Amino acid sequence: MDKKSNQTDQARRRFFGQVAAVASLTVAPGVILQQVAHARSPEEPASDKNRWGILINTNKCAEGCDACVTACQDEYGWGPNGPETRSSDLQKAQWIRKVKLTDKQTGHVQTLPLMCQHCEHPPCVDVCPTGASMKRADGIVLVDKHICIGCRYCMMACPYKARSFIHEELHDQKVNAPRGKGTVESCTLCVQRVDAGRQPACVEACPEQAMIFGDLKDPESAISRELRENGGEQIRADLGLNTGIRYQGL
Partner 1 sequence: MTVGQLSRQCILAAGLLLALPALADETGPLAVVPKPRAEANPEFGCVRPEEDMRKHHMDYLMVHRDDTLRRGIRTRDFSLAECVNCHITPKPDGQYARFGEKEHFCSSCHTYAAVRIDCFECHRDTPDPEKVRETAQQNPHRGLAADSNHPAGIMPVSATVGEAR
Residues found near ligand HEC in the complex (CB under 6 A): 145-146, 176, 178, 180, 183, 191-192
Q: Is 182 or 207 the residue whose CB approaches partner 1 more closely?
A: 182
User: What residue type is 119 in one-letter code?
Assistant: C
Q: Is 144 or 220 the residue whose CB approaches partner 1 more closely?
A: 144
Reduced to 3 states, what is the DSSP secondary structure of residue 230? Answer: helix
Angle among Cα 23, 249, 3 to the nearest 5 degrees reads 95
Answer for the pair 248, 57: CB distance below 8 angstroms, yes or no: yes
Cβ neighbours of residue 249 under 8 Å, at least 6 residues apart?
A: 57, 58, 59, 110
Q: Is 145 or 198 the residue whose CB approaches ligand HEC more closely?
A: 145
Q: Least distance (Å) from ligand HEC to the CB of residue 79?
A: 17
Strand-pairing partners, residue 97, are 114
Which partner, partner 1, ligand HEC, none, binds residue 39 by CB below 5 to 8 Å per kind?
partner 1
User: What residue type is 5 in one-letter code?
Assistant: S
Which partner, partner 1, ligand HEC, none, binds residue 25 by CB below 5 to 8 Å per kind?
none
Q: Least distance (Å) from ligand HEC to the CB of residue 82?
A: 15
Which partner, ligand HEC, partner 1, none, binds residue 42 by CB below 5 to 8 Å per kind?
partner 1
Give the span between the Cα atoms of 232 and 7, in whole angstroms: 22
Interface residues toward partner 1, by CB under 8 A: 39-46, 134, 136-138, 142, 144-146, 169-170, 172-176, 178-181, 183, 191-192, 195-198
Q: Least distance (Å) from ligand HEC to the CB of residue 189?
A: 11
Reduced to 3 states, what is the DSSP secondary structure of residue 207? Answer: coil
Answer for the pair 192, 177: CB distance below 8 angstroms, yes or no: no
Q: Least distance (Å) from ligand HEC to the CB of residue 116?
A: 14
User: Would you say how long the chain is, in residues?
Assistant: 250
Q: Is 169 or 220 the residue whose CB approaches ligand HEC more closely?
A: 169
